[in-house]
Amino acid sequence: MARILVTGGTGYIGSHTVVELMQKGYDVVIVDNLSNSNQAVLDGIAAIVGSKPDFVQADCCDNAAMDALFARYHDIEGVIHFAASKAVNESVEQPLMYYRNNLMSLVTVLEMMKNHHVKHIVFSSSCTVYGQPDAAHLPVDETAPIQKALSPYGNTKQINEEIICDQAHADSTLHATILRYFNPIGAHPSAMIGELPNGVPQNLLPFVTQTAAGLRAELKVFGDDYNTPDGSCIRDYIYVVDLAKAHVKAVERMLSGLPTEQVEVFNLGTGRGLSVLEIIRTFMQVTGVNIPYQIVGRREGDIEQVWAKPDKANTVLNWSADTPIEEVLLSAWKWEQKIRSLD
């Protein structure tokens, strides 16, 4: 079976994608610098699939280390590039770190692919490239205009997409699939892997589960004065396992020579928008755990409302994200209980 390099493979989405790849029979190599993940994730992956993937600890911005990796694994057929810093609000505070990490890691990976004759890349992009779509473009399909990014994080995703398109234009042998995801949540049903942020969580659901577990006194809801039904931000929350399966579909499609364009773009979401307050209330309903929360001011860089029109991915990739939100929220709580040993 083909060998796939997964950058950022011990991270949240990366680790779930590694599981899905290995369960389909792919040989997987992970490269990760462990800046926002833990090597123990490899044990979780092994507990699910029965063996550990190969692992190289390195920074994707490190030319020499990446060159050595590609030379060692000379049979890599495709790359899934997750490695990036990923928090909107942190990027507003530390833009240079985001530009260095997110741009240089991709440039280095593409250079290594060219030097070592690897032709296929799946790139982890984001719905942040659409900014705040106007009403005419909600739900958001792939033809929605790319808008000026509201955060350095969103800008790095836009620039990275442009880098990929420019390199594909220069190199007719390169094939890329850009996956623009909405908001990944949840954990593997085995509770062997899940979202494990270092330090204070930057995403909603780990904050919810940590508050439920008593690690945090209360949850902050950033703004209840948005132009939405309950005043809180609306997002398209997609189950991480469903999302991971889309990456496998993208790899299969490229390795089979099916893409009709050198660079294909897909929006990955459920097609349904849920508000922050709806997530909190649904979590309380399905778990029976009360979540104390406080409404605070809006957070810079946050988009008011965005959700996907995933028809293209549904049709072309033969993929859909249809796990019920209740099941997804329970998976996150089961994971939180496991890591906190609250059972």
What is the per-residue pLDDT for 246? 98
pLDDT reading at 198 higher than 80? no
Stretch 11-28: mean pLDDT, rounded? 98
Same domain, 142 and 228: no
> Within a domain: residue 198?
no
Same domain, 261 and 128: yes
pLDDT tens digits, 201-250: 878 999 999 999 999 999 999 999 999 999 999 999 999 999 999 999 99
> Within a domain: residue 195?
no
pLDDT tens digits, 148-191: 988 899 999 999 999 999 999 999 999 999 999 999 999 999 99
Stretch 320-340: mean pLDDT, rounded? 96
Same domain, 300 and 311: yes
Same domain, 252 and 227: no
- Residue 282 and residue 247 in contact, taking contact as beta carbons nearer than 8 Å: no
Q: Which of 12, 73, 130, 153 is catalytic?
A: 153
pLDDT reading at 124 higher than 60? yes
Mean pLDDT across the chain: 96
pLDDT tens digits, 290-316: 999 999 999 987 889 999 999 999 999
For residue 205, give the nearest of 185, 234, 231 by alpha carbon. 185
What is the per-residue pLDDT for 56? 98
| Of 247, 268, 289, the domain-final residue | 268
Stretch 89-106: mean pLDDT, rounded? 96
Same domain, 172 and 316: no
What is the per-residue pLDDT for 131? 86
| Lowest model confidence (mean pLDDT) among 18-22, 151-155, 263-267, 281-285 | 151-155
> Within a domain: residue 196?
no
Same domain, 63 and 136: yes
What is the per-residue pLDDT for 149? 87
Same domain, 161 and 244: yes
> Within a domain: residue 124?
yes
> Within a domain: residue 250?
yes
Domain count, the chain: 2
Stretch 52-60: mean pLDDT, rounded? 98
Same domain, 165 and 209: no
Same domain, 71 and 168: yes
Same domain, 283 and 176: no
> Within a domain: residue 223?
yes
Q: How confident is the model at residue 343 (pLDDT cuts 50, 70, 90)?
A: very low
Q: Known catalytic residue: 237?
A: no
> Within a domain: residue 58?
yes
CATH number of the domain at 278, please: 3.90.25.10
What is the per-residue pLDDT for 342? 52
Two tokens at 106? 């991709």
> Within a domain: residue 288?
yes
Same domain, 99 and 42: yes
Report pTM: 0.96
Domain hosting residue 9, numbered range = 3-185+238-268
CATH number of the domain at 107, please: 3.40.50.720
Same domain, 93 and 215: no
CA 66 to CA 72: how far, in whole Å? Answer: 10
pLDDT tens digits, 271-284: 999 999 999 999 99
